[in-house]
Structure formats: C-alpha cells, structure tokens
Structure 1
Amino acid sequence: MSSHRLAFTDTSLTDGQAVVWSGALDNRMLLASAAPLSSSGLAAVEVLNPAVLDECLARDEHPLQRVELASRHYGSVPLRATVNLLTGHGRPGADVLGPTTIESWLSALAAAGIQQVVLLDPLLDLARLKAALDSATASGLTAVAALPYSADDGVPDEIYTQRAESLVTAGAARVMLRDESGVLTPDRAHALLPALVSALGDTPLDLHTRCHTALGTVVALEAGRLGVSGIDTALPSVANGASLPSLPSLIRVLRTEQHFKDLPDLDSLLSADAILAEIADQEGFPAGAPWPFDLATYVHQLPGEVAADVRSALRERGRWADLHEFAEECALVRREMGSPPMVAPFARAIAEQAMCHFDGEPRYDLLRPVLRRLLQGVYGTVDGDLRTDLQERVGLVLSPDASSMGVEADLGTDEAVLLAWVAGVTVAAIPRRADSVRPYEALTPYESLARGLLERAGRYATLSVQAPGIRIHLQQEG
C-alpha cells in the first residue's frame, strides 16, 4: 500500500465541549491549550460553529473576538468555522441566511482569522450552496461542503456519489461526509467511502463522525485506510459518547501501520488534553466517556448535543427504560415531516416534538416553530412526503421559492447588526469586545479557596477559615 497522509482537524473547542461540557468552554479556556495544540501538526482547529456562537452570546462574550484571540494564540495552524445556511432561531426572514448575509458573514469570519469554513445546507439546495461556496472562495477561505449522512434504508451509494459530485460542481474545494448521528458503520463505510473517493477524484473527502454507538473510532480508522483525506477528531477529555473519536487513540493505532505519514505529534496532543482535563477537574466538568452500543441510535438518529440532552431528559423523567419507545416516536415525527436530515435546525425540533408526544400531549397539539416553517416550505423542499393535514393547518408561505433563498436584511457595514441577524438576537444583545482576555489560570485548592474568599470579603467585617494546614483571616479596616 502506498503512503497516505491523513489530515486531522480538532473539534474539541466546538463540538467536543458542546457535548461533554454543555458548551461551558469560555474564551479563557480556549486559549489555555493553544500552545500544545498549535505545535501538534494538526491540519486545522475548529473554533466557531452555530452552537458556540450562541454559547458566546449567552456568556456575554463576543464570538468574533473568540476567533481573533485564537488567531493570535494558535500560530500557524489554520482555524476553521462551521456555518449552517438554515437557522432555527425564528427571527422573521432569517430562517435561511441569504446570499448577501452569508457573503458578509464569511467576510467577517475571514477578517477575524478563519481560514477554512464548512458550509452546511441540510436540504442540499445547490443554488444556496453555490452562492455560499462562491462567497467563501472570494473571501479567501477553503470552502468545505458538507454532505449529510443518515442510516435511512434505500439510499444507495450512487445517490451519495451524485450529491458529492454536485457539491464539487457548485464550487466545493473539499467535501465532508457528515455523520453527526454516529450511525455510519464499518461495513457501510467499506462500500460508501471508496465510492465517494473515486467519484470525487482530485477533490479531497473528509469525514465527520460521532461515537454514539461506540463505533466511531473504528469507522474513523477504516476511513483512513479507505482513502479519506481528512478526519474530524477531539481530545480525550471531550471525546467519545456523542462527541468525536479521540485523536490520540487513532494515532496509537495508525503508528503501527507504516504507510501513514506525518501523523500529529502525540505528546503535544496529550499535553493539550492534560490542560483540558485540569480545567474540567477544577470546574467540575464531566469527562468524555464511551456510550454503550444501542440500536435505538439507528432509529432516532439524533445528532451530538441533541442525543446527549435526550438521554439526560429521559433519566430525569425516570424513563430510561423507554428509550426505544421514544426513538420510535422520534422516527415517526421525522417521517411525518418529510424525513429531513437529522441535523440542525431540524433534529432538535423533531426531538422536542417527540418528547411532547412521549410525555402524553396530544400529537401535534402544539407544533414546534421550526417544524411549522418546514411544513410551510420556508426552508425548501424535503425528499419525503409531508403530512398533508399538517400542511393544510399551517398553510404554505406565499412564495416558498423566494423564501427558501433567504430574506436579506439591510446590514450596512455595522458588525453588530450582521452578528445580530446571523444569531437571531437584537443588536442590543451583542456584547462589546473585552478589553483583555488572559488564558485560564489553573489554581490549587488553596488558591481557589482564597480567591473565593476575597471575592466575598467585601460583604463582611471579618472573614476567617481554619483547617489543617490552612489559616486565612481577612479583616476590613476603618
């Protein structure tokens, strides 16, 4: 076998932390692992996606400042962002990010330091994608077009290869098979991946897969052997489960196969992971852990964060034993919505609708807003059949073709206006850039206790703590 160079992109700072840490990785933590990650030989580090954008705003952090900070601290390693052309925030007219909005957003990302962008249109509307891919290229970005994968029966390899070829025709520099539900099996990979590699020719094929069924690492290893050019991974602290395969685990195996060249430096990756593990320990964040194999995953096909949230919701209800019942309801809702790909914005809305039914509400008594807009044709055309009674209930939009291309806002040159439109918030909700952001500082238990006491000392005249080996006494004067 000839030598093969695999490119690895780390998604610990986006998908990994979103799933395992519920999105708690702030801008200080982003910088903590910069030195070892930037020197590890990664092909790219992903620093922004729609979920992280929302998480930043919720913490009053500026999302573009996050990118700018990464650009200054991550050296020469390329930075990547993922952009979904369809939104779920429900702002009037912004269900689809139109060509002008996307052009402005991609230009802003490039100016902040992004070099690669994954463009996802769940419905694979080629007109929308071509406009976005052209804008990405014009902004100097490497444009990666996502090809959603599902475990649906009756979708042959030929359909995937045709879709992949159409993405290249639309202007993609790379194509990414995106398995956000972790349902790609090694057997299917052995047939599908070589077919895609052959069909794409000189255009590289990337793989994004998850570990819901504990098969993600095996699928990623097989993908490398089958000619895939790039694989998305995570560091061990935020890998596995609904996250991505652990890159150190992959490297340990691939090192034994001499035809793989220029693998990332394992020691640097482990150093970066040790920093994340220290943050998790200090903040009380959970560690990434494998999920056991369960066939329910192939039924509900819920992606990353949504699958993790559903597991928590079922356990809180004391109904974990009913997972398969929920999975069947989730699959039924999806079919009645025309079987859209189980990615944002559809997957969470389908899961929430199924949970309402699961909890005993009359079916579709209350319809999730994203599903209402899907039925109205706002997002475009789905492959399957929609429930006609539900369509009649909500009514079609006046001009679905025009709506599905996005309604353009008067963005002008104001960055806050652009960011508000993309995120679906008011301009007043866009935070100012912080004057300075220092990397996360790990503290000893003593330092952590002292800092906490100092923060509270202003409320008390005297504050004392005594324990074996510790004596702290704070007293206000005057």
Structure 2
Amino acid sequence: MTRIQLVDVSLRDGNQSLWGAVGLKTPHVLQIAPVMDRVGFRALDFTSSTHMGVSVRTHREDPWERIRRTHAAMPNTPLQFIGTGFRFISWERQHPDVMQLIYDRLVVNGLSRFVVLDPMHDMDAVRATAAAIRKAGGSEIIAALTYTVSEVHDDAFYARLAAEMTACPDIDRVYIKDPAGLLTPDRARTLIPGITAALDGTPLELHSHCTLGLSPLTYPAAPALGVEVLQVACGALSNGTSLPDAERTVANVREHGHEVEVDDRLLAVVAEYFRRLARAESLPFGTPQEYDASFLRHQVAGGVMTTMRRQLAELGLEHRFGDVMEEVGVVRAELGYPIMVTPFPQMVCSQALYNVIDGERYRNVSDQVIRYVLGSFGRPTVPVDPDVRDRILGRRRAQELAEEPSPPTPEELRARFGRHLPDEELLLRATMPAEQVHAMLAAGPSPASYNPERQPIDRLLRELADRPPIAELSVGSDEFALTVRSRGQGAPHGG
C-alpha cells in the first residue's frame, strides 16, 4: 500500500484548460478557499504569469491582491506558481534581475511552492531559475519533466534529466508534466520506474491532462510505480482538457489498495461549489474525452486546431487541412521537437500553414519562429535542422531581431515608470498596457464573497440598470408572481 497525496489544479490549470483562464475571479476563489484549506491537499496549483495578466486585462483585478487574500484565507495549504523562468505576463524575455524581483515579490505576497517549467529541458536554465527562487525564499521547488512523444523523448532521455534534477540542491521534487495527456498506462510502466530509479528518493508527482481520455486510466496504476502525488481537479473544472476528477481519482486509487488522506466530505463540497459556479456563470463543464489516436502524431490541441481550420476556411483552403497537419509533424521535427505547449504549438502550426499555402517552405517565417531559432526561448532539445536554420537566420529580419537591445534591468524600469511605485505595480506596468493597469487600479479592491445562487437575479438587476426607465416589471413562475410599477402607476403588489 502506498500513501498518496493530492495537488488540486482547479484554480489555475483547470480554469486555464476549460475556461480560458478567465472563468474565475477573486471573489470566486475567496468564497471556497477556507474549505479547500481543510480538504487535505498537499498544495494548490494557484497562479501563473498568464493568469495574473488575465486578472488585470479581463477582470480589472489586482493579481497581487488575490495572492495575499487567498493566502490569508487558507494559510495551511501552500499556493503554487508555475513559470518558465524567462518571462512574466508578456512573452518578452526579462532581465535576470527582473525575474529575481518577480520571485521576491511572489514569495512576500504569499506563494511558497514553485514549478520550474523549461519547455526545452535546458538544465542550465532550470538550475538558474531554481536558484533564483530559493534566493527569494521559495520553500518547495518542483522541476518539470514535460512529457511528449517523439524520436528523441524516450525513457532514457527522461531518466537522464531526472538524474540531473535530483543532483541540483535547489530542486526539492520532480513531476511528470503531461500537458497533452499522451501518457498511456503501458508507457507509464516503463517510464516511471526509470525516472524514480534516477531520482534516488526525490519525490515524484504526476500531472496528466485528460485530453485523450488516458490519464484516468494511468493515475490508478501510478502509485505502484513510484508516484507519491497525483494532481487533480474538482467538479466542473475536471476532465475535458483539464485533469482527472479528484473524487473519482480518490475512489479508483483506493480500489487499487492505496491510501489517500483527504476529507471526502469537504472534497465533495468543493466539487459541488465549482459545479454551482459553472451553472451560475454559464461556464462549460469538463466532460470525459474519447480517444483520438491521431493526436499522438500531431499533438495539436483542440483550440489551436480550431483556429487553424478557421484560417483555412477564410482563405478558401479547407481542403488543405490534411496537408497542413502532415506539415506540422515535419516542421516540429525540423525545429528540434519542441514540446507542444504554449507558445510552441502556435509557432509550429503557423509555420506549417505558411509552408503549405505559400508553396515554398520557409519563404515566410514569423518573428516568433525566428526568435525561437535564435534561442530566445531556450536551447532546443535537439539542434534545429541545419538547412532550416540557415534559411531562417539568413534573412534580414533575423539580423534585426538578433540585434534587439537587452531587456531592461529593475533600475531602468524604475527610471522609466517612476521610483515611487511599489514593486508589484512596477512589474505590471512593465509588462502590460498602461490603460489596463489604470483600469485595474480605478476598479479598487475585489468583493470578498460570492454566492452562485444569487447570480441570476444580480445579472437581471444589472441588465435592467443598463436599460431605459420602465414603467412596470413583472417576475413570475408557477408558484410566484411579483409586479413592480414606477410611481404614478399604482402601488407594487405581488401574489
């Protein structure tokens, strides 16, 4: 029997996978935080720079305030931040001293657990980021083994990485991050034992999405193979392209003879809260996915594929979709097998689209692909095909991008935006449009509570307030009727 712990990802990855990172607001989180604090989760996957930018841009909410208030509401459960170590909110590379300032402020505001996710598995970059987080005071640092399927990503590849990670003094834990949900139970039986042997006692966690319907089958087998922590989601924020449902995972793992120390009653309360919230806000529920074998070949997520179909339709080239998908696999190999997590699917697919539409491969290349080949996103797992590299870097635009100035230091940012600004506001202004930050500050603090059952009537009242004055309003059902008239139209009455 193995004792298994859970990390809940509902607030960050579930929200991002199913609701485009825009579904949850600060009051939604604060309402359920005290309950989540008592479930028994090892930690909560809480935020990322993407989520922090969305809270400003979409909800006019201060992401630093959300961190502080949530930490105060659930002081017993570590809150996790996931990042690449080279950017914050925007995709522009940040100066190392700015990244150090970011980690300093994240820790001060209430985050203690950090995932280092380098999509290229550049171990020099991983070690540098882990050291910066430790210097900032991060108490638990987890390195990501990002899983994919390719000619080079075999079991030995991941075992070698795991050995390097466990040798790093600033890495406390390792997790298998399977963003596309590609890990099958059969592959897990060879992959995980090799990784655990290389880790030599360093704890291993598993994070696998449900995109192909495989992870609910892989999770129950994982504890016997050496996994100590499973990452899950709750209620409406589970399944689909999110992670396995927490309640079902607990039941299945226990059926396999393992122990999961969570409060089942409170776990059910959390799951039901997210179901009620989804219904009140008209947000989609994650549903179990059917297996699609072609996904193992192209690894293009549904959202990116939908965008590509729309672009082809707008050009009258719907019939070339199959050609583009074939080209995706070729481009990915030529670029050194980047793992298909943002922003790399967008880069690979856009280049494949250009190659098919233009009739000449790499005649048009986006700035992002040029930056990728220049190394702005890290060192590729295997070198870029030499002919492709020469073709991309031999153009004038590549020379211009190579000569871009170094990113500004914290001191240069303070000189530009004002030395009086708190560091938290400075970091937002340095990475976001000024008008969005102004709107966030003008909106003031977020409400402290949220009741899903009140939302229909609150929405009705807001919509009525936006309309011209009315003389009479009637609300009714089979059991209730209420009519309200403006002054001069008779007294309000109901029945």
TM-score, normalised to structure 2, is 0.84
Contact 2:67 2:110 in 1 (8 A): yes
User: What secondary structure sits across from 1:162 in the alignment?
Assistant: helix
Aligned residue for 1:475?
486
The secondary structure found in structure 2 opposite 1:224 is helix
Provide the secondary structure at the position in 2 that maps to 1:340: coil
Matching residue of 1:47: 46
Task: Give deviations 1:244-268, integer Å, cap 9, x for gaps.
Answer: 111111111122244x234322221
8 Å contact kept, 2:220–2:256: no
Equivalent-residue separation in structure 2 for 1:88 and 1:329 (angstroms): 31
Cα gap change, 1:189 to 1:78, in 2 (>3 Å): same
Please state if 1:164 is matched with 2:166.
no
Corresponding residue to 2:466 among 456, 459, 462: 456
Task: Summarize the Cα distance change of 1:29–1:476 in structure 2 as closer, same or farther, 3 Å threshold.
Answer: farther
Tell me the equivalent position of 2:135: 138
Cα distance, 1:151–1:323 mapped onto 2, change above 3 Å = farther
- Structure-2 separation of matches of 1:444 and 1:428: 31
Does the 8 Å contact 1:337/1:371 carry over to 2?
Answer: no
Corresponding residue SS for 1:177: strand
AA at the equivalent of 2:436: A
Identity of aligned residues (%): 23
User: 1:360–1:281: structure 2 CA closer, same or farther, 3 Å change rule?
Assistant: farther
Alpha carbons 2:304, 2:345 under 8 Å: kept? no
CA deviations 1:278-330 (Å, max 9, x no partner) are: 1111111111012211122112223xxx5334347648978999876554232
Aligned mates of 1:245, 1:300 — CA distance in 2: 23
- For residue 220 of structure 1, give the secondary structure of its aligned residue in structure 2: helix
Which residue, out of 282, 286, 289, partners 1:288? Answer: 286
Q: CA deviation at 1:16?
A: 0.8
Question: In the TM superposition, what is the alpha-carbon distance from 1:50 to its structure 2 partner?
Answer: 3.1
8 Å CA contact 2:312–2:321 kept in 1: the answer is no
Q: Distance in 2 between matches of 1:253 and 1:297?
A: 26
Residue in structure 2 matched with residue 419 of structure 1 by the alignment: 428
Structure 2, unaligned runs of 5 or more: 415-421, 489-495
Tell me whether 1:438 sits opposite 2:448 in the alignment.
Answer: yes
Query: Residue in 1 aligned with 2:27?
Result: 28
Letter matched to residue 425 of structure 2: A
Does 1:215 pair with 2:219? no
User: Whole-Å Cα distance in 2 between the matches of residues 196 and 123 of structure 1?
Assistant: 18
Counterparts of 1:238 and 1:101, CA distance in 2: 33
Distance 1:275 1:104, change over 3 A: same
For 1:308, the aligned partner's letter is G
TM-superposed deviation, 1:445? 7.6
Q: CA deviation at 1:389?
A: 1.2
After TM superposition, the structure 1 stretch with the greater mean CA deviation from structure 2, 271-280 or 65-74, is 65-74
Give the letter aligned to residue 453 of structure 2.
L
- The structural deviation recorded for 1:376 is 2.2
Say whether 1:123 aligns with 2:120: yes
For the 8 Å contact 2:185–2:217, the answer to whether it is kept is yes
CA contact under 8 A between 2:304 and 2:346: conserved in structure 1?
Answer: no
Name the structure 2 match of 1:102: 99
- 2:325 is aligned with 1:330: no
Aligned to 1:194: 193
SS in structure 2 opposite 1:143? strand
Q: Check whether the contact 2:312–2:320 (CA below 8 A) recurs between aligned residues.
A: no
The structure with the larger Rg is 2
Q: Unaligned 5+ residue runs, structure 1?
A: none
Match of 2:419 in 1: none
Change beyond 3 A, Cα 1:35–1:474:
farther
Q: Does residue 80 in structure 1 map to residue 80 in structure 2?
A: yes
TM-score if structure 1 supplies the norm length?
0.87
1:94-119 CA distances to partner (integer Å, 9 max, x unpaired)?
32x34322221111111111110101
1:307 to 281, 298, 302: 302
Return the letter of the residue paired with 2:303: A
Which residue of the partner structure matches residue 265 of structure 1? 263
Give the SS at the match of 2:201: coil
**CA separation of 1:317/1:159 partners in 2, compared to 1, >3 Å: closer, same or farther?**
closer
SS at match of 1:80: strand
Q: CA deviation at 1:476?
A: 6.5
Report the secondary structure of 1:117's partner residue: strand
Q: Which residue of structure 2 aligns with residue 64 of structure 1?
A: 64
Aligned mates of 2:399, 2:2 — CA distance in 1:
51
Of 392, 395, 418, the residue aligned with 2:394 is 392
- Bigger drift between 36-45 and 49-58 goes to 49-58
Summarize the Cα distance change of 1:235–1:162 in structure 2 as closer, same or farther, 3 Å threshold.
Answer: same
Give the direction of change, closer, same or farther, for the CA distance of 1:89–1:134 in structure 2 (3 Å limit). closer
Any idea what the Cα deviations from partners look like across 1:358-402, whole Å, max 9, x if unmatched?
7778755543332121122323331132413122224357979x9
2:12 corresponding residue in structure 1: 14
Distance 1:266 1:327, change over 3 A: farther
Distance 1:445 1:78, change over 3 A: closer
Q: Residues 123, 449 of structure 1: CA spacing in aligned structure 2 closer, same or farther, 3 A cutoff?
A: closer
Q: Would the aligned equivalents of 1:241 and 1:289 in 2 still touch at CA under 8 Å?
A: yes
Task: State the shift of 1:205 in Å.
Answer: 1.2
